Chain A
């Protein structure tokens, strides 16, 4: 009986200490070791990660569309001019803010969709916005001209 209590106490102490220690030693997972050298491969990887983070479970055309929006933004005066700047613009993409872009490794389909967009396929015809109409978004976004809806995303200019 006494031993049991001691064990429980010890466990609580251990858990509490562990919380503190892990909080100190927790390292962010955002490691870039998987980046390839060439810029094409770098862009491909980043696009595939964003597709995985933003369009998991979407139809293939919708995944190509999400990648195409990133590429369209990089060419558009309304957005930064490199793919990395577009993807990492603070607050622009939910999956970057919540870390999903790092925790979810892209599947073969995600890589394919990213590649197809880099090759010039654009099911959105030059769109620079996409959002899920069934989730709450900022009101101004609805003032953009909607071009199409693919799966759970509307695409707009």
Chain B
């Protein structure tokens, strides 16, 4: 009798505990799901608002007859476009193709910012610029309509973020938001034009024209030969070299792997360009032990290696020490002008002083004999322009790239304000201040930011 009631009580307890367990898991899952749905809906409604604002702002910027007002409107467009980008990125669309919508807003904002900049600098805004703006507005208008339609469906509960069966036993799925947004993205892909202008998000920045490759097309075995010649400069052992693949980026390259006898993993990986057989970059993947080599010695080694590679007349412009290696940046010169876009990096292991890394991809992409303009401003005039509280340490000429890859001939003015160091770049043609870099001494080396 006792035994029987015990079984009953125990079974009820088990059942109770299981129900409780299930319930608490379910409650957690469902509250997590609701929190996600809320975050995603927030992203959607914010996107909607940004698009509506953009529609309004663009049309106002076309109507206003005051340049001051127009500048304010254009910078607000930039701000709202960035907001739209953030909203898209917060929605669960990471595995979808949302790249066209993202790019559309990025370019709209960037382009508006550039126009505002032109107006501030009293430069001409061309009819073509305004035509581009009108194209943006046309696309914003249709996007805004589509999004509002989607919003109606959301409000009616027809559409949700999380695709799940409609009720416990139904197999019918609620149509997901992601599908609808992806189809809007695909429409933009067809409608939004590719545009080129002076900004970091212009279409030309993504794939710059390669200028630094000289020579003729080389075969696989010629590429292997030039890879071997470089490998012999950095390691003493005889490594087995083989072509591991071909890379069709902006520079077409053979990937060469060097292996020690019996090793499965390559010791050195090296890319050699198909045009000219230049070594674009390499990495020695060996473990590097604790530092024994002095920094000065390492920098000298890097410089000697560069000269050995026939890159002559380079100047070391910075170095960064991490773990047990140091990476030194070098810049070539044309006359006495430093060509910053054409930098080469050399990495030195601090245990033996060997070269373990090399990267000339910027040099091979950008280097060419430049047609440098005559400076219209003298060094004296630059000194006079500077604020009085700055003490000038050094002035030299440099070519620097801006965000849109335009190159500008500048005076690089190395100044000190109290104990802080800055590099100020003054355009040698028009005296504009192009950029300021703060130079920070860290225990890793000198960093500019």
Contact = CB atoms under 8 A, between A and B. Distances in A.
Contacts of B357: 116, 121
Interface of B: 3, 6-7, 10, 13-14, 17-18, 20-21, 23-25, 28, 40, 85-86, 89-97, 99-100, 102-103, 106-107, 110, 200-201, 206-207, 245-251, 253, 255, 265-266, 269, 271, 281, 283, 285, 320, 322-323, 327, 345, 347, 357, 359, 361-362
A121 B269 CA distance: 12
Contacts of B100: 78
A119 interface: yes
Contacts of A9: 7, 10, 14
A80 interface: yes
Contacts of B96: 91, 138, 140
Interface stretch (A29-37, A46-54, A56-64): A56-64
Given A2-B3, A90-B91, A91-B94, A147 B248 contact: yes
Size category of the A interface is 35 or more
Interface of A: 2, 6, 9, 12-13, 16-17, 19-20, 23-24, 26, 59-61, 64, 75-81, 85, 89-93, 112, 115-116, 119-127, 138, 140-141, 146-150, 157
Contacts of A124: 247, 249
Given A13-B13, A13-B14, A91-B92, A61 B106 contact: no
B298 to A, nearest CB: 15
B95 A91 contact: yes
A20 B16 CA distance: 10
B207 A92 contact: no
- Cβ-closest 8 pairs across A and B: A125-B249, A92-B94, A91-B94, A16-B17, A77-B106, A20-B21, A78-B99, A77-B201
Nearest to B322: A115
A147 B283 CA distance: 20
Given A60-B266, A76-B206, A125-B250, 14 more contacts: A26-B28, A61-B269, A77-B106, A78-B102, A80-B102, A85-B86, A89-B94, A90-B93, A120-B359, A123-B271, A125-B247, A138-B95, A147-B248, A148-B249
